[in-house]
Structure 1
Amino acid sequence: MLPEGNLSATDPEVHAAIDGEEQRQEQNLEMIASENHVSEAVLEAQGSVLTNKYAEGYPGARYYGGCEHVDTVEQLAIDRAKELFGAEHANVQPHSGTQANMAVYFAMLDPGDKILSLDLTHGGHLSHGHHVNFSGQYYEVEQYGVDPETGYINYDDLAAHAEEFDPDLIVSGSSAYPREFDYERIGEVADAVDAYHMADIAHVTGLIAGGVHTNPVGDADFVTASTHKTIRAGRGGMILTTEEHAEAIDKAIFPGAQGGPLMHNIAGKAAGFGEALTDEFDEYAKQVVANAKALGEVFTDRGMSLVSDGTDKHLLLVDLRESHPDITGKDAEERLESVGITVNKNTVPGESRSPFVTSGIRVGTPALTTRGFTESEMETVGHHIVDLLDNPDDDELAEDVSADVDELCAEYPIYE
């Protein structure tokens, strides 16, 4: 018999914190580009009894008994991932996108091997070789950047850098680069210097699944992903690769880097991938990009400076130095959060401030699109953001914006 009681009765402190977070999400406009709101079906899968089951190994080859049902769940996640992205092999066990990257490095590189990746301040990610991360401590890393004039990656410069550095692995992908990567060109550069190409699609997994962003499968030897951002599936990571590298990748995850897989999260991945196979999800992905472009137009029209002057995907990187030189990214984040708009401070190309302060903000549209926002609502929110930054000490304005945020949240609830 299951233990009696519920969380509110057995642990009111944890219950209160969870309840508070639920209310925060419902009553705030979530615009952190890496966050989203999953469906109730995904929540149900992630909160299921699968959390009780150890399943070290892979479907059909477990180290424990009693895995017939979790085998079904994991195989569904694998098959749906392969269908969504046209991949030969999928590993859905990584606990995060960083764990997925770690597995590729461990599978294909030796300590001291060379990685060429996008600079963190130009939109890259810690796990692509930053010195505070394991990836920068175990490997020799050099980084490419964006053109300071255009904000775009210069692929001729990247190719020249690769020719000089002779990397063993080239990483494409980012956490704050607002433009699509030319995966085919980077694959050609990698081939020219006899390097592997790893495409980290953590942020654009859902946009690729929805058909509105280029798919790197076929141009990259390895594709790593987060499964909870734009694709709205169970929290975690995933690796896509060819049959040639399948065994090495699987061994790098288990037993190489992880023990028992989180089967409740894998169930959430399977459920979310199933949703991503629908026409409705394709429409969602299109709307995410349309909303980002509409938001970018408001910012530009109001005098804000955007890195690369816009976006191809779900996020905008706002450089405050020209339009608001006295406001840091940290200031902007706090100002917006005070009225219920959640963004994150972010470094920008040529950054001179600390990463805890920054000169920019990253603004995303996935979560608001999930709530049902279209271009009209995004334009309203965009004007609110600029108004608040233009008038940082206007308390009456802040009260008016906060009231409008409350109305928008009530009109577009996350969960009924």
Structure 2
Amino acid sequence: MSDIDLNEQATIAYRAMLNVIGATEPTVAQAIRQELADQRTSLKLIASENYASLATLLSMGNWFSDKYAEGTIGHRFYAGCQNVDTVEAEAARNAEELFGADHAYVQPHSGIDANLVAYWTILTHRVETPDLEAKGVRSVNDLSEDDWETLRHQFGDQRMMGMSLDAGGHLTHGFRPNISGRMFHQHSYGTDPTTGLIDYDVMRAQVREFKPLILVGGYSAYPRRVNFAKMREIADEVGATLMVDMAHFAGLVAGKLFTGDEDPVAHAQVVTTTTHKSLRGPRGGMVLVEHEFADDVDRGCPMVLGGPLANMMAAKAVALAEAKQPSFREYARNVAGNAKTLAEGLMKRGATLVTGGTDNHIVLLDVGSNFGLTGRQAESALIEAGIVTNRNSIPADPNGSWYTSGIRLGTPALTSRGFGTDEFDRVASLICEVLSGTSVATTAKGTPSKAKYTITDGLAARVHAETEELLDANPLYPGLDL
């Protein structure tokens, strides 16, 4: 079937869908139309966002959303789940083939859910319960309430180490206000204060001293590759389980850009991910584990999760099938190549980048050093000019995690639209123009504001017009006419 035929069918399907929705709730139908219009006319550089295929999007809206299916394949707490078994098995099989994983658990609703499932999987598998063995208890999933009370004390003594938030880690890697920081005695590793890079010798010394049960790899805003083989060596020295959260860079792993020492699935016992971001699927999560953790992770529901969303598992199966195609490897290469072009384009125009560049899909721009702005001011000025980013902390950030001193840029979404190196160099130029033309405003008390800004008259409108030229040349869902 030709692309033209598919686009025509997609147009018919979406028009019909919107007409049906609009007959009941026109406000929602109009919001859906407007969201597509907004996405088509914005220069999306948010590293955690992408554009799912029309096939993936259509897979989410169907009768699977009506099903309860607690349990897992072939072992449900509800009858009539044979079709759910089919899509869950297909999604798991596609994930295992794509990433070379022993076992895939595709039920998590989000990346946070996936990490919670992973933490509890490791705890239930690793934590010894000698005072319960005499009672014949073989699994923590079989404990009575009294037994659980005993075990809570033992779980509460466990330690976890992950990347600090300001170095590029995620909230779920042990940040104290997050549940991950409350489940464990937690300690963070950071980056070298001069280079911004992970220092594995320093990490090794910290791990030897702290002796965590879980060593967490992965990042949310670290613009470099990670040596997971070395992290596994460090974890093994103290008997820790290496867990890697590859939510941000899963697409680069799936696309075989990260291989060898940089492939987390080859080295970590437990790997979590989202299925959107660089993987370009539906919003959701997965956990990939070695064989020894398979039985424990399959108890994610009801251990952590409620009923799995069968419609989302269907969409995951479709997106993972797409990622198995040779074209996805080219996409992954382009994502990283475009990020390098964006980084070089910013630096040659005087911008300062954390770590001095990138070799993944993320560019972390220090807007304080050269432009004198906070991340919040830079984010707001850029969106006024049609460029969507998000403010982000940088190492030792003087403005904290709310106002920040950086903005995070990512290339997956615009690469999906067909942007190449020429376009990304132009994007770098536009970003620097906006930031150079933006200055700090003062508060009512006459002090410098961390949120308010002023921008040169006419600059935002001119840049916005130039972004529209770029977007018009690289349309989103070309041929889909609503």
Q: TM-score, normalised by structure 1?
A: 0.97
Match of 1:223 in 2: 271
Partner residue of 2:306 out of 259, 263, 282: 259
Partner residue of 1:198 out of 228, 243, 250: 243
**What amino acid is the match of 1:60?**
G
Asked whether 1:303 is paired with 2:350, we answer: yes
Q: Is the 8 A contact 1:233 1:270 kept in 2?
A: no
Cα separation, 2, equivalents of 1:191 and 1:138: 22
Give the length in aligned residue pairs. 412
Cα separation, 2, equivalents of 1:113 and 1:356: 30
Match of 2:320 in 1: 273
Asked whether 1:74 is paired with 2:120, we answer: no
Q: Is the 8 A contact 1:92 1:239 kept in 2?
A: yes
Match of 2:333 in 1: 286
Q: Is the 8 A contact 2:385 2:434 kept in 1?
A: no
Deviations along 1:347-370, whole A, 9 cap, x unmatched?
Answer: 000112131210000000000000
Match of 1:161 in 2: 206
Asked whether 1:8 is paired with 2:22, we answer: yes
Post-superposition shift, 1:4? 12
**What amino acid is the match of 2:223?**
P
Cα separation, 2, equivalents of 1:241 and 1:108: 10
Q: Which structure 1 residue ranges, 5 or more long, are not aligned?
A: none
Say which is worse superposed, 210-219 or 182-191, in terms of deviation: 210-219
Match of 2:294 in 1: 246
Say which is worse superposed, 332-341 or 57-66, in terms of deviation: 57-66
**What amino acid is the match of 1:216?**
P
Q: Is the 8 A contact 1:343 1:363 kept in 2?
A: yes
Asked whether 1:401 is paired with 2:448, we answer: no
Partner residue of 2:391 out of 337, 340, 345: 345
**1:93 match: secondary structure:** coil
**What amino acid is the match of 1:53?**
K
Cα separation, 1, equivalents of 2:33 and 2:313: 24
Partner residue of 2:421 out of 367, 375, 386: 375
Asked whether 1:136 is paired with 2:153, we answer: no
Q: Is the 8 A contact 1:112 1:138 kept in 2?
A: no
Match of 2:437 in 1: 391
Post-superposition shift, 1:160? 0.1
Deviations along 1:93-151, whole A, 9 cap, x unmatched?
Answer: 01111111111211223233111110001100000110110011121110010101111
Match of 2:111 in 1: 97
Deviations along 1:205-242, whole A, 9 cap, x unmatched?
Answer: 11100011231123111000011110111211000111
**2:330 match: secondary structure:** helix
Cα separation, 1, equivalents of 2:295 and 2:82: 22
Q: Is the 8 A contact 1:233 1:273 kept in 2?
A: yes
**What amino acid is the match of 1:195?**
A
**What amino acid is the match of 2:188?**
Q
Question: Post-superposition, which runs of at least 4 consecutive aligned residues in structure 1 deviate over 3 A?
Answer: none
Say which is worse superposed, 343-352 or 403-412, in terms of deviation: 403-412
Q: Is the 8 A contact 1:316 1:364 kept in 2?
A: yes
1:75–1:329 distance in 2 versus 1, CA, 3 Å = same
**Higher radius of gyration, 1 or 2:** 2
Deviations along 1:173-232, whole A, 9 cap, x unmatched?
Answer: 010001111100110000001111001100011110001123112311100001111011
Partner residue of 2:378 out of 332, 335, 344: 332
**What amino acid is the match of 2:234?**
V
**1:191 match: secondary structure:** helix
Match of 1:35 in 2: 49
**RMSD of aligned residue pairs (Cα, Å):** 1.4
Partner residue of 1:172 out of 210, 217, 226: 217
1:292–1:108 distance in 2 versus 1, CA, 3 Å = same
**1:350 match: secondary structure:** coil
**2:403 match: secondary structure:** coil
Q: Is the 8 A contact 1:235 1:268 kept in 2?
A: no
Cα separation, 2, equivalents of 1:261 and 1:218: 27
Partner residue of 1:314 out of 361, 369, 377: 361
Cα separation, 2, equivalents of 1:192 and 1:358: 36
Match of 2:410 in 1: 364
**2:462 match: secondary structure:** helix
Q: TM-score, normalised by structure 2?
A: 0.84
Say which is worse superposed, 286-295 or 253-262, in terms of deviation: 253-262
Post-superposition shift, 1:395? 2.6
Match of 1:119 in 2: 164
Say which is worse superposed, 399-408 or 336-345, in terms of deviation: 399-408
Q: Is the 8 A contact 2:367 2:378 kept in 1?
A: no
Q: Is the 8 A contact 1:162 1:189 kept in 2?
A: yes
